[in-house]
Each structure stands twice: as structure tokens, then as C-alpha cells.
């Protein structure tokens, strides 16, 4: 018993082993069957038998050895029907049936389409039985776009259009790339009328409101709806003021169906008594429109390469239209619902496309649209100034000086020294003028930031950064960072390394910090008082307990300095030349800039993770022009980003 079971398992394994290569070999069956359905539904039902036969023969040629014998046999069977039932060429029908049976001895005839003579020709060649079908034509069952249409069908299938409204045009066939002017009248007196249409291959209905010119409601189906050959569906609905439907011409389930073909000889649609609008240009080539996933198909929307299925490639532009370059080889473009379904390229109209919107340089592959991140930045800014710690200079707000955590000049120290000496002859500190900081680049504040960016396209993002700044002056520093930014990603959001550049603006204060030595220029009457630590200055001859001669009120910029004349003398040539004799005070000088900025940024993201890549390390450089307290600030930052 165990031996019998073992033999069965071996047999199953052999069957599967042989079947898998075959399944992998016939990669074009799906596309070919879709092409066969189009030939019958679109061209045969429109009585364009030459076109239908041409599409079927082209499908056989495009299949090569990538379609199964069953699919090729089905194609030749329908070629026989087109020749026999359509073109009344029984000799050609028998030839096609013979080829079909040689490929697939079990091929079935489509009895619904075959005439009695065609059935007889099929039987004469050796065919037996019927039952083959195509995907239902517009007006019966499920269409190529996936819409359910009830049996009985719309007007183009021979049925009567439901509804009491009367509309034109009354045509069942038209040429591609033509607008469709629609004019309707209704005895129900609707308050509003709208037209809905669905182009060949589309899954959703588009809406166009009709305008009332007094007697008729009129609108136009645009050229975009007739750019490709196939079935165009439309219907019209009239509504009362409250929104209730009061009249209609066709319905969503039973719409008007017009066959759109490239070489139709029918009169173009026009409003009653008017000339038909001109044919539109720029909506595709005159070539045959193919299913999006059929190898070698040219949609007319972009230039394609000449490499066929299975050929080696560097990118998708080298492959024929309808193929994508996947893992170094041209492969059939798969169907999709979103970008994440595509191994490369983007999802366009339900099919993976290398060009996205038709741009062959567009990034290939899916990408994440929403990116969040955390970053750490460090500010470097321009500095430079004269008399930076003088009280009058600090009043302008561009500089702030501190001795430790205390502002400098510090009146408290002079008062404390006076109290310690038991007199009131000590004066507020001021630095000696000419104590400057050199122009250059100095380090500044640090920033902890969070980011949020949203992709408007595979290359364009908008977003912002917000966070907290550290290391500003101890007095009036604003630690808030708020930034809006827009970025262009040169290689797309799906590339492993993505350089970018953009513009930014926002709210931020940047304080650059430098160390300096101030020479205290505040003399006192106790010239050698060790409490204050000031040596005797040449030129002061007053008694120790009295103010030196010449201590008067200051003038000009020094009018506000206590014992201003003494300070004025100190900073001028008399004592200014002796500044090395003054007490030295180490201070921290903060040059303040902002709190607004405009500028730009550039950088790169090294992405990793799954497909599409959803993580990255980001190196960014902000270039900020600070306003109204001006300076130029460079802010490099390093961070981690995550895509969702």
C-alpha cells in the first residue's frame, strides 16, 4: 500500500515538473486572449471584418512561441468565423479552421457567431462541437473595463434606448479623435440635465453637465474619450429641482454604445442642422490601439524601443511599447491598481508603465507618498562687528554679551564693589570701545527637528520641519523652529540614492557665539581699591577719597554713562591708548539673527528597506538668509526618514 502511494506521489511530481515550464513559457496568453476579445467585440460587431481579421492575424504573429496551442487555435477559429460568417469567404474559413484544429484538436467553434454555412465548413474540416466564447461585447455581460451590462444590451447592440428623452447623435459608429456633440429634448421639463460617459478601457464614468439654450439641452463628449479605438458608452439623466430623476436617455446599465474606430467611414457626429466639429489632433497616432499589456503594442503616447519580450535591457525605454525592463529583461507590463503593484514604473490606467505620465525620463518603480523623519542640525553663520558689547550697541538687538550667565555690562558688580568700599563713587561698567569681533564664520545654535513631506508626484514633495533650538543667548532667545519647504527629487522617490534641491522659509532665531575679552573702562575714585581690582590710571590726580579732576557729565553718546566724562576720557586718546591697563573681563558674545528666514536647501537620501524602499538616511543642507537681523546661515542636518 505504501509502495502504491509512493508511485502516485512520483507521478504527481512528474506532472507538475513538466507543467511548470509550460506555464512559464506561455507568458502572452492573457494578452493574446484579450486581443482576440477586442477583435470580435469592437471590430467584428461593428461589421469591420477586415479590421477584425487584421487584429487576429496580428495577434497570432505577436504570439510567436509565447502563446499556448490552445490560444493560437482559438485565434485561428475566430479568423475562420470572420472569414466565413462575416466576409462569406468559405475557402478562407476552411483554411483557418484547418490551422486551428492542427494546433488544438479540441478547439470549439463559437456557435453564437457562426452561421449555418460556417458551422458546416468547420465540420467538413474535422471540427466537432461548439461552446467557445469571447468576453461579452458591449451590451452583454462584463465588458473589458469590468462593468456589468445586463442582457438585452444598449442601443448599439440592437436594443431600444430606455427613457423618454430624445437625444442625438443617432449613430453607432464614429472615427477616433472626434468630439461627440449631444443634444437632448425632454417633455418632462427637468431642472438640470447631465451626461455621463465612459471611454473604452476606463472603469469610471465621467460627468458633463448639459446647458439649456431654450429648446434643447446640449453638451459635448471631449476628444479624450474617443482617443482610442473601442466602445464609447454614454447616457443622459434629467433631474427635478429636488434631485429626483424625471427623464433619461439610456441608463448606467443600458447605455448608448458607439463603436469608435480609426478608419470609420460613417458621418461624424454633429448637432442637428450643424457642421460636425473638426477632428482633434495630438491624441495618439493613427496606429492600431492595442491592449495595454499586450507585447509589442504601441499606445501612441510615447516613443518605445525595439527590443522584444525576453531581450536584455538596461531600462524600459529600450523595450517595445507594452513591455517593461524587469531584472534586466523586457517583460510584459502587468496590470495594477496602485504603484505598489508594479515591479518597476508606475500604475497608469490599470497597467504598469515606465513613463508614468508619458515622460520616458520619469522615475521607474513604486514609491511611498508620505515621509516622516527626525533630524539633528547645527548652525554656522556669519559674524563680525565693532564695539559689540557697548550698551548702546546691544540696544540695537544684534548682539548680546554675557559674563557667565550675567549680562555684560553688569551694573550689579559696580554697586557691590562700592558697597564693599563704603562709598558711592563706583560707576557702571562699560567695555573699552574698539573691542571688536572679527568677520568670519562662527558656530551657533543646534536644532532637534521633526519633518513631514508629502509627494505630489514621483519627484515633487511639499512639507515642513518643526522643532526646538538649543544654545542661544541666555537672555531673549526664541527656541522655536517652524519651516515650510518644497523639494524636487532628481532621480525620484523610489531610487536608492535620491539627490534633491528646493526652497524653504520659516521662523527661526540663530545665535552665533564667540568668546572675547572686554577691557573694563569704568574708573572709580578709589583707583587702587583691591575690591574692584582696577589699577591706577595715568592722568587721574584726584585724592583717594575724592573724584579725580575733570569728572563731569558726559556728552554725545556718553551722556547716559554715570560719571560720563570719566568714561569719555577713558575711551578717547588720553586713556584709550592705555587700554592694556584696564581690567580684563572674559565674555561670551552672541550675534543674533532672525527671527525669520528665506532660502533654499539641497541634499540626498540613501534609501533602503522593502519594495518600495520605505526608509532612508537623509543629509540636508539649509541655506538661510536671516531677516530682519541679517546674516547668512548654513544649517547641515542628519536624520532618518520613514515612508508610508
The pLDDT of residue 349 is: 56
Q: Is the pLDDT of residue 615 over 80?
A: yes
Between strands 256-261 and 173-175, the pairing is: parallel
- Cell numbers found for residue 240: 427635478
Cβ distance 295 to 320 under 8 Å? yes
Q: What is the chain's percent helix, strand, coil content, to nearest 5? A: 20, 35, 45
The pLDDT of residue 348 is: 65
CATH number belonging to domain 152-261: 2.60.40.10
Count CB-CB contacts under 10 A for residue 20: 10
The Cα 239–Cα 254 span in angstroms is: 18
Classified as helix, coil or strand, 426 is coil
Q: Is the pLDDT of residue 635 over 70?
A: yes
The confidence band for 529, taking pLDDT boundaries of 50, 70 and 90, is very low
The pLDDT of residue 530 is: 38
**What element of type H or E holds 6?**
helix 2-25
The pLDDT of residue 292 is: 44
DSSP per residue over 560-582, as a string?
TSTTHHHHHHHHSHHHHTTGGGS
The pLDDT of residue 493 is: 86
The confidence band for 357, taking pLDDT boundaries of 50, 70 and 90, is very low
pTM (global) more than 0.85 = no
Q: Is the pLDDT of residue 364 over 80?
A: no
The pLDDT of residue 413 is: 55
The pLDDT of residue 438 is: 85
Q: What are phi and psi of 307, to 5 degrees?
A: -85, 135
The confidence band for 491, taking pLDDT boundaries of 50, 70 and 90, is confident
Q: Give 436-479 pLDDT, tens digit per residue.
A: 888 889 999 999 999 999 999 888 999 999 999 999 999 899 99
Q: Is the pLDDT of residue 173 over 90?
A: no
The confidence band for 360, taking pLDDT boundaries of 50, 70 and 90, is very low
Domain map (residue ranges) of the chain:
26-125, 152-261, 292-366, 370-380+439-513+591-643, 390-430+521-582
> Which range is most confident: 47-56, 220-229, 273-282, 445-454?
445-454
Which has more confidence, 50 or 638? 638
What's the whole-number mean pLDDT along residues 187-213? 88
Cβ distance 196 to 252 under 8 Å? yes
The pLDDT of residue 571 is: 57
- Cell numbers found for residue 488: 524636487
The Cα 98–Cα 115 span in angstroms is: 18
Helix axes 69-81, 29-38, angle to 10 degrees: 10
Q: Is the pLDDT of residue 186 over 80?
A: yes
Q: Is the pLDDT of residue 112 over 60?
A: yes
Q: Largest alpha-carbon pair distance within the chain?
A: 142
The Cα 222–Cα 182 span in angstroms is: 11
The pLDDT of residue 48 is: 83
The pLDDT of residue 356 is: 44
| The CATH number of domain 370-380+439-513+591-643, selected from 3.90.180.10, 1.25.40.10, 3.30.420.10, 2.40.160.20 | 2.40.160.20
The confidence band for 13, taking pLDDT boundaries of 50, 70 and 90, is very low
Contacts for 70 with CB less than 8 Å, ≥ 6 apart: 103, 104, 106, 107
The pLDDT of residue 354 is: 64
Q: Is the pLDDT of residue 574 over 60?
A: no
CATH fold, domain 26-125, is 1.25.40
Q: Is the pLDDT of residue 366 over 70?
A: no
Distance from the Cα of residue 485 to its chain's centroid? 15
Which residue, 21, 10, 6, 77, is CA-closest to 44? 77
Amino acid at each position: 500500500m505504501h509502495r502504491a502511494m509512493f508511485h502516485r506521489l512520483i507521478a504527481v511530481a512528474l506532472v507538475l515538473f513538466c507543467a511548470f515550464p509550460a506555464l512559464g513559457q506561455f507568458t502572452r496568453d492573457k494578452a493574446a486572449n484579450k486581443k482576440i476579445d477586442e477583435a470580435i467585440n469592437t471590430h467584428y460587431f461593428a461589421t469591420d471584418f477586415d479590421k477584425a481579421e487584421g487584429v487576429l492575424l496580428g495577434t497570432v504573429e505577436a504570439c510567436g512561441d509565447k502563446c499556448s496551442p490552445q490560444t493560437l487555435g482559438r485565434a485561428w477559429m475566430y479568423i475562420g468565423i470572420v472569414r466565413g460568417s462575416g466576409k462569406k469567404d468559405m475557402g478562407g474559413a476552411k483554411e483557418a479552421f484547418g490551422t486551428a484544429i492542427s494546433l488544438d484538436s479540441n478547439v470549439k467553434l463559437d456557435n453564437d457567431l457562426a452561421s449555418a454555412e460556417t458551422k458546416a465548413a468547420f465540420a467538413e474540416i474535422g471540427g466537432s462541437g461548439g461552446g467557445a466564447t469571447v468576453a461579452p461585447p458591449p451590451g452583454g455581460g462584463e465588458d473589458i473595463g469590468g462593468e456589468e451590462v445586463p442582457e438585452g444590451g444598449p442601443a448599439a447592440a440592437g436594443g431600444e434606448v430606455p427613457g423618454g428623452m430624445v437625444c442625438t447623435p443617432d449613430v453607432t459608429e464614429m472615427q477616433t479623435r472626434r468630439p461627440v456633440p449631444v443634444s437632448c429634448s425632454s417633455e418632462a421639463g427637468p431642472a438640470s440635465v447631465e451626461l455621463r460617459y465612459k471611454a473604452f478601457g476606463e472603469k469610471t464614468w465621467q460627468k458633463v453637465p448639459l446647458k439649456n439654450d431654450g429648446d434643447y439641452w446640449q453638451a459635448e463628449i471631449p476628444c479624450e474619450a474617443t482617443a482610442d479605438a473601442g466602445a464609447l458608452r454614454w447616457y443622459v439623466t434629467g433631474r427635478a429641482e429636488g434631485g429626483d430623476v424625471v427623464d433619461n436617455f439610456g441608463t448606467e446599465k443600458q447605455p448608448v454604445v458607439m463603436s469608435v474606430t480609426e478608419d470609420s467611414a460613417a458621418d461624424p457626429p454633429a448637432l442637428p442642422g450643424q457642421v460636425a466639429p473638426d477632428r482633434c489632433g495630438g491624441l495618439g497616432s493613427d496606429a492600431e490601439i492595442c491592449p495595454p499589456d499586450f507585447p509589442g503594442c504601441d499606445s501612441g503616447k510615447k516613443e518605445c524601443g525595439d527590443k522584444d519580450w525576453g531581450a536584455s535591457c538596461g531600462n524600459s525605454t529600450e523595450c517595445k511599447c507594452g513591455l517593461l525592463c524587469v531584472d534586466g529583461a523586457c517583460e510584459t507590463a502587468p496590470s495594477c491598481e496602485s504603484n505598489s503593484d508594479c515591479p518597476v514604473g508606475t500604475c497608469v490606467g490599470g497597467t504598469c508603465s515606465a513613463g508614468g505620465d508619458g515622460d520616458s525620463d520619469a522615475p521607474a518603480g513604486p514609491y511611498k507618498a508620505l515621509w516622516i523623519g527626525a533630524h539633528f542640525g547645527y548652525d554656522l553663520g556669519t559674524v563680525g562687528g565693532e564695539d559689540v558689547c557697548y550698551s548702546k550697541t546691544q540696544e540695537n538687538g544684534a548682539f548680546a554679551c554675557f559674563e557667565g550667565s550675567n549680562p555684560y555690562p553688569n551694573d550689579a558688580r559696580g554697586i557691590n564693589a562700592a558697597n564693599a568700599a563704603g562709598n558711592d563713587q563706583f560707576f557702571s561698567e562699560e567695555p573699552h570701545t574698539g573691542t571688536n569681533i572679527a568677520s568670519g564664520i562662527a558656530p551657533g545654535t543646534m536644532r532637534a527637528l521633526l519633518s513631514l513631506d508629502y509627494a505630489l508626484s514621483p519627484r515633487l514633495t511639499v512639507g515642513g520641519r518643526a522643532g526646538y533650538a538649543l544654545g542661544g543667548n541666555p537672555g531673549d532667545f526664541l527656541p522655536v523652529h517652524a519651516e515650510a519647504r518644497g523639494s524636487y527629487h532628481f532621480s525620484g522617490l523610489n531610487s536608492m540614492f535620491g539627490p534633491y534641491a528646493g526652497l524653504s522659509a520659516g521662523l527661526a532665531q540663530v545665535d552665533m557665539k564667540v568668546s572675547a575679552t572686554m577691557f573694563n573702562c569704568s574708573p572709580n575714585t578709589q583707583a587702587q581699591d583691591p575690591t574692584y581690582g582696577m589699577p591706577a590710571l595715568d592722568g587721574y590726580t584726584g585724592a583717594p577719597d575724592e573724584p579725580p579732576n575733570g569728572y563731569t557729565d558726559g556728552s554725545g553718546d556718553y551722556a547716559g554713562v554715570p560719571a560720563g566724562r570719566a568714561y569719555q576720557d577713558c575711551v578717547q586718546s588720553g586713556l584709550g591708548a592705555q587700554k592694556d591697563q584696564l581690567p580684563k573681563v572674559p565674555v561670551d558674545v552672541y550675534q543674533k539673527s532672525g527671527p525669520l528666514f528665506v532660502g533654499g536647501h539641497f541634499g540626498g537620501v540613501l534609501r533602503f528597506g522593502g519594495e518600495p524602499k520605505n526608509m532612508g538616511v537623509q543629509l540636508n543642507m539649509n541655506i538661510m538668509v536671516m531677516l530682519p537681523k541679517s546674516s547668512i546661515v548654513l544649517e547641515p542636518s542628519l536624520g532618518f526618514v520613514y515612508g508610508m
